[in-house]
Amino acid sequence: MMANREPAVDRAFLKELTRVVGPDRVLTKLESRYAYGLDATYHQAAPDVVVRVRKADEVSRVLRLCHREGVPVTPRGAGTSFSGGPIPLAGGVSLALQGMNRVLEFSPGDSLAVVEPGVVTGDLQRLVEAEGWYYPPDPQSADFCTIGGNIAENASGPHGVKYGSTRDYLLGLEVVLPDGEVITVGGRTIKNVTGFDLTRLFCSSEGMLGVVTKATVKLIPRPESKVVLLAFFKDWAQGGRAVADIFAAGILPTTLEIMDDVSIRTVEEYGHFGLRLDAGAMLLIEVDGFIETMDRQGRAVSAICEKAGAMEVRVAHDPARQAELWKARKVLSPATSRLAPTRVSEDVTVPRSRLPELVVRLKEVGKEVGLPIIVFGHAGDGNLHPGILTDERDPDKWARAERAVELCFKHTIELGGTLSGEHGVGFMKSPFLPLEYGERAIRLMKDLKGAVDPKGILNPGKMFPDPRNPLRAGGPAAGAAVGQPGPAGGERHGP
């Protein structure tokens, strides 16, 4: 039932793996491997063996072995990917890095920290914040995802509009190449223009070019204070105007989240936060800075929203009240997951000014395919999360959802946007890569991949259109051809 695929490993190979990490950290039982074949998407493919590493040296020796034998290797952190990154499509080895979770150095003097890839992002954030420092990348899964995965996918979250994504905080990396060689790239300085920027190349390489075993990340001083606002608008046009005006007024918010009418209604039914049900759009705005500027910034943003036509603006200065305002956004994912058995969630991104237009088009797509689409996301950086409500057990509804995804991508590209703002390509978006990149650009990417990983052992089947992609086999129901499908478990995520 592990498909028609031959196991990529034999007994002699397993024996050699055992010699590297010991028998306890080599998992071969099906029930154990099964757990390492899933992430936050609805697909699954069990690896042939799981190797739980603890040190860079082990990573190097495992990769050298796999390289020699031509065995596929899929690196894995906490498995919270929304693009299928850690799913071992070609079987082989699942390289589990959660055990490499030491913070090796925290240096306020150089405003940096050196961490292993298995460090949980939120743990690092709490550690440095206690000392007055700040590591901003904030994927919604920060409390359980790992830095290694963040680097591989170049993760970010609501604070991205002001603070950018993971790549903006990488100073240097130690990377094990597919043949087991260990290299270091970048360094410990804020400025560094020596050689190609390989640090950024490995960032968002989705585990296809190397395995990060150590990362030097940049820290910034922790902002002193913040103010949170919740503004209700008649429609997206008004909300969009407010977004544009905030920037035009010289204010750079840390967060600018937008929710549509369906999201507002669903969240209100779920948690009774006192949201305006007559609103067509809602903005959650957060601005940070010195305490003295909070009052002024709060008033300025409030005035801008009102001028744009806001029916109501709520301002919160004290932390308890701020948490309350945030709550409506935080429960969005569980609340909307009740709307349908499956929610296909995308993370398309357009230039900020095209956002209102994208929303109109997304709603039209919903009408065209006959499935409801809810829209929310990070308005500040043009990163939207359209949620297509469907039922993966129903072939017709599933086909329509796939059609909707395709149309979403088409409109996004037409508006000058990108397929993915923060989730990565994996195999969820790989069939659509040619929509965004020309043939020559894709060939260059493949050439890079080939130069670093000539045998193609690292995370095969991702990023580029590929016959191993379960999506091309016709959706989740047909995923069985690759490995275990994840039926009856809709992806209903939410950053």
Partner 1 sequence: MDPEELERRLIDCTRCGTCLKDCPVYHETLDEQYTARARVNLAKAVYYHGRFELGEGLRDIAEACLLCRACLEACPNKVDGPVFARLLRERVVERFGETAMRRAAFRGVLPEPGRVGWAAVAVRAAQRTGLDRFVGAIVTGSLATGSLAAGALGALPRLPARPLTRIHRPGSVLPPADRDGTDGPASNHRPKARLAYFHGCLNDRVFPQTGLAVIDVLRRNGYEVVVPPQNCCGLPASAGGDLAAARGMAQANVEALGRAVADWLITDCASCGSALREYGDLLGTDEARAISAKARDINEFLVTEGFDREGLGEVALTVTYHDPCHLKRYQDIPAQPQALLAAIPGLVFKEMRDAAVCCGAAGSFVLTHPDLAGRIGARKAANALATGADAVATACPSCRMQLERVTVRAGRGLPAPHPVELLARSYAAGDACRRERTPVDPARACQARTKASAG
Nearer to partner 1, 40 or 112 (CB): 40
Considering only residues 142 to 161 of the shown chain, the ones binding partner 1 according to CB under 8 A are 143-145
Does 470 bind partner 1 (CB under 8 A)? Our answer is: no
Return the C-alpha torsion angle 188, 193, 195, 200, nearest 10: 70
Binding partner 1 (rule: CB under 8 A), the pick from 60, 74, 101, 154 is 101
Nearer to partner 1, 106 or 270 (CB): 270
Binding partner 1 (rule: CB under 8 A), the pick from 3, 64, 99, 324 is 99
Taking the C-alpha atoms of residue 43 and residue 94, their distance in angstroms, rounded to an integer, is 15
* CB neighbours of residue 299 within 10 Å: 12
Residues 6+ apart with CB under 8 A from 432: 406, 409, 419
Does 238 bind partner 1 (CB under 8 A)? Our answer is: no
Binding partner 1 (rule: CB under 8 A), the pick from 341, 372, 456, 474 is 341
Taking the C-alpha atoms of residue 487 and residue 485, their distance in angstroms, rounded to an integer, is 6
Binding partner 1 (rule: CB under 8 A), the pick from 74, 83, 98, 125 is 98
Beta-bridge partner residues of 214: 174
Does 487 bind partner 1 (CB under 8 A)? Our answer is: yes
Nearer to partner 1, 47 or 210 (CB): 47
Write the binding mask 409 to 448 for partner 1: x where contact by CB under 8 A, - elsewhere.
----------------------------------------
Whether residue 92 contacts residue 36, with contact meaning beta carbons closer than 8 Å, is answered with: no
Return the structure tokens found at 95: 């390289």
Does 376 bind partner 1 (CB under 8 A)? Our answer is: no
Minimum distance between the CB of residue 346 and partner 1, rounded to whole angstroms? 15
Residues 6+ apart with CB under 8 A from 211: 59, 63, 73, 75, 95, 97, 117, 175, 176, 458
Taking the C-alpha atoms of residue 61 and residue 209, their distance in angstroms, rounded to an integer, is 16
Residues in the chain: 495
Write the binding mask 42 to 61 for partner 1: x where contact by CB under 8 A, - elsewhere.
x-x-------x---------
Q: What is the DSSP letter of 348?
A: -
Binding partner 1 (rule: CB under 8 A), the pick from 13, 34, 133, 432 is 34
Minimum distance between the CB of residue 387 and partner 1, rounded to whole angstroms? 12
Count the site residues for partner 1 by CB under 8 A.
43
The type of residue at 380 is G
Nearer to partner 1, 162 or 343 (CB): 343
Does 313 bind partner 1 (CB under 8 A)? Our answer is: no
Residues 6+ apart with CB under 8 A from 381: 160, 161, 256, 349, 352, 421
Binding partner 1 (rule: CB under 8 A), the pick from 9, 17, 26, 39 is 39
Nearer to partner 1, 289 or 341 (CB): 341
Beta-bridge partner residues of 313: 231
User: Which H or E run contains 305?
Assistant: helix 291-307
H-type helices in 22-113, by residue range?
30-35, 56-69
Does 78 bind partner 1 (CB under 8 A)? Our answer is: yes
Does 174 bind partner 1 (CB under 8 A)? Our answer is: no
Binding partner 1 (rule: CB under 8 A), the pick from 11, 29, 272, 440 is 29
Whether residue 26 contacts residue 15, with contact meaning beta carbons closer than 8 Å, is answered with: no
> Interface with partner 1 by CB under 8 A: which range of 151-159, 331-339, 362-370, 439-447?
331-339
Sites of contact with partner 1 (CB under 8 A): 1, 27, 29-32, 34-36, 38-42, 44, 52, 76, 78-80, 96, 98-99, 101, 118, 141, 143-145, 331, 333-334, 337, 341, 484, 486-493
